[in-house]
Chains A and B, each alone.
Chain A
Amino acid sequence: MCLGIPCKVIEIDGDSAVVATANVKNKINISLVDNLCIGNYVIVHAGFAIEKIDEAIAKETLEMISGFIKDAQ
C-alpha cells in the first residue's frame, strides 16, 4: 500500500508532470515536492510524487555496498 515506484520526470506543467518507468508513461501530481526538474527521479505513490531520489546519495550507498564485494573477494 505504501508501494512507491521510482520514475523519471519527462514533462512538467504546473502541478502536473509526465513520468516514465520501464517505458510506461503516466501523468502524476507533483504538488507535494518542491523544485522538481525534468530528468529528476521521483518516488510515485497513489498518483503523486512523494519525494525526489537523490542520485549522488544513491551512488554513495551502492559504492558502500560494493566495498563489501571487494572485501569478500
Chain B
Amino acid sequence: MKYIDEFRDKKSILSLLEEIKKFSSVEASIMEICGTHTHSVSKYGIRGALSKNIRLISGPGCPVCVTHQADIDAIIDFSRNDKTAVIATFGDMIRVPGTFSTLESERALGSDIRVVYSPLAALDIAKENPSKKVLFYSVGFETTAPTVAASIIEAKARNIKNFTVFSLHKLTPPAMKAILDSGDVLVDGFICPGHVTAIIGASAYEFIARDYGSPCVVSGFEPVDVLYSIYMLLRQLYLGEAKIEIEYERVVSMDGNKKAKEIMAAVFEPRGSAWRGLGLIPGSGLKIRPAFAEFDAEQAFGIKAADSSYVEKPGACACADVLKGRITPFECLLFANPCTPEKPMGPCMVSSEGTCAAYYKYERAS
C-alpha cells in the first residue's frame, strides 16, 4: 500500500540502524508518547535492534489506558442505573475493568452497549432510534477530539435531541509537561505523536525544547519513520541541541490543521482532567462548552468526570507506573500470569495500543 510499504523497506531499516550506531557515545532515554508508536517499536523489534545506550520508554499515549478508574466506574454505574439508554463507545473501552465490572459484563446483564468506529456512527444510532437516549462515551487525544466536535456540530445542525457525549478527551502537551515536572522518569528526548500533531501542530512542543532542553521529533508510525526519528533525536543530543523537528512532514506541519483546531475550540474548552497514574493535570482535559450544553452527558445525566478528590485504590495492577514510564510491563507482578489480553486485569493489557499488550504480543521471548 502506498505510504506504508516504502516506509517498511528492509534496506532503509538496515541503513538507518547503521547510521544510529554512529551515535554510540550518546546515552539516551527516549520516550514515545503515542500508543501506536509503542506498538511499532514492539512489533518491528526496534527496541532489541538498538544498542544498549538507547533506552526507549513508553509514555501515557493510549487514551483507553489513561482513562481514570473513577470515569470507568461512573459509566458502568450509569449503564446499570439506566438500561433504556444506549451507550456507544470505541471497542477497547467495553473491556476495560472498572473496580467491580466492565461494560462488556453489563451488556451481558442487559445494558444496551454498542461498539462504534466513528462518533458519526453513534450519531446515526441516535437518528435511527429517536425514542432512545444515546450517550457517546468518548475518549481520545487531539486526533479524535475534532471528529467528536464535528459530530456534535452535526447533531446541533440536524436538531438531534437524543445524542449526548461524555467527554473524557485529553490533551498531550500538558501530560508531557507533567511527566517532566514529576521527575519520576528521566527523559532526554521525545518521539512526539504523528496524528495528534497533525491536528495541533509541532509548535505545541516548543516549550519542551525551550524550558526543559528536551529535543522533540514528530514521527510517523512505520519502522522507517520511527528509526529515522530516533536518528534525528540522537543527532540533536550528540550536537547538544534541543529543538522541534518533524520526521512525519508528509502529514504534519508546525501549525497543524487550522480547520480541525477551530472546530475543536468551538465545541470544547480545556479543563483539569484526572489521568490514571498521573493524577489531576491542569488544563489537560476537554469539556463541552456551554453553547453545546444540550449535548453534554454530564449536564444531561449528572455523571461527572473524575477530579482531584478521587484517590486511586492501591492494587497489584501496575498500569499507573507503566503509563508514567517508571517500569516496563515485565516488572509488573501480574504481567502474563494472570494478566493477559484474553483476561486483562488492567487497561494497558486491554487496549491493542496498550504498552502491556504490545510487550505481551511481541516482546516476551526477548
Identify the A interface with B (CB < 8 A).
Answer: 1-4, 6, 8, 21-22, 29, 31-34, 41, 43, 45-48, 50-55, 57-58, 60-62, 65-66, 68-69, 71-72
Chain A: minimal CB distance from B35 (Å): 6
17 further interface pairs, Cβ-Cβ under 8 Å (given A43-B198, A48-B118, A71-B19): A1-B63, A2-B34, A2-B144, A2-B194, A3-B221, A43-B251, A45-B195, A46-B118, A46-B144, A48-B147, A50-B146, A52-B251, A54-B250, A60-B249, A61-B228, A61-B249, A65-B15
- Which residue from A6, A41, A47, A66 sits with its C-beta under 8 Å from B118? A47
Chain B residue at minimum C-beta to C-beta distance from A8:
B2
Q: A2-B35, A41-B3, A68-B15 are in contact. Are A50 and B249 (CB under 8 A)?
A: no
Cα separation A41 to B1 with both chains bound (whole Å): 12
B195 to A47, Cβ gap below 8 A?
no
Q: Which residues of A contact B150 (CB under 8 A)?
A: 29, 31-32, 48
Q: A21-B1, A47-B147 are in contact. Are A2 and B195 (CB under 8 A)?
A: yes
Q: Which residues of A contact B196 (CB under 8 A)?
A: 2
A32 to B257, Cβ gap below 8 A?
yes
Chain A residue at minimum C-beta to C-beta distance from B153:
A31
Q: Which residues of B contact A66 (CB under 8 A)?
A: 12
3 nearest CB pairs, A to B: A47-B118, A58-B250, A6-B3
Contact with A along B274-306 (1 / 0, CB 8 A): 000000000000000000000000000000000
In chain B, residues 209-249, which have Cβ atoms closer than 8 Å to a Cβ of chain A? 221, 224, 228, 247, 249
B11 to A69, Cβ gap below 8 A?
yes
- Which residue from B11, B120, B139 sits with its C-beta under 8 Å from A47? B120
- Is B205 located at the chain interface by the 8 A CB criterion? no
Q: A8-B2, A57-B250 are in contact. Are A2 and B16 (CB under 8 A)?
A: no
In chain B, residues 124-165, which have Cβ atoms closer than 8 Å to a Cβ of chain A? 139-141, 143-144, 146-147, 150
Chain B: minimal CB distance from A19 (Å): 12
Q: Which residues of B contact A62 (CB under 8 A)?
A: 6-7, 12
A1 to B251, Cβ gap below 8 A?
no
- Is B78 located at the chain interface by the 8 A CB criterion? no
- Is B357 located at the chain interface by the 8 A CB criterion? no
Cα separation A48 to B140 with both chains bound (whole Å): 14
Cα separation A41 to B7 with both chains bound (whole Å): 16
Q: A50-B199, A58-B250 are in contact. Are A69 and B15 (CB under 8 A)?
A: yes
- Is B32 located at the chain interface by the 8 A CB criterion? no
Q: A47-B147, A57-B249 are in contact. Are A2 and B118 (CB under 8 A)?
A: no
Q: Which residues of A contact B195 (CB under 8 A)?
A: 2-4, 43, 45, 50
Q: A47-B119, A57-B249, A61-B247 are in contact. Are A6 and B147 (CB under 8 A)?
A: no
B250 to A65, Cβ gap below 8 A?
no
B15 to A1, Cβ gap below 8 A?
no
Q: A32-B259, A33-B257 are in contact. Are A54 and B16 (CB under 8 A)?
A: no
A48 to B146, Cβ gap below 8 A?
yes
Q: Which residues of B contact A51 (CB under 8 A)?
A: 198-199, 251-252, 257
Q: Which residues of B contact A22 (CB under 8 A)?
A: 1
Chain A: minimal CB distance from B119 (Å): 7
Cα separation A4 to B195 with both chains bound (whole Å): 7
Cα separation A54 to B3 with both chains bound (whole Å): 10
- Which residue from A34, A48, A57, A65 sits with its C-beta under 8 Å from B16? A65
Q: Which residues of B contact A29 (CB under 8 A)?
A: 118, 120, 147, 150
Cα separation A40 to B173 with both chains bound (whole Å): 30
Q: Which residues of A contact B117 (CB under 8 A)?
A: 46-47
- Is B317 located at the chain interface by the 8 A CB criterion? no
Chain B residue at minimum C-beta to C-beta distance from A34:
B259
- Is B64 located at the chain interface by the 8 A CB criterion? yes
A61 to B35, Cβ gap below 8 A?
no
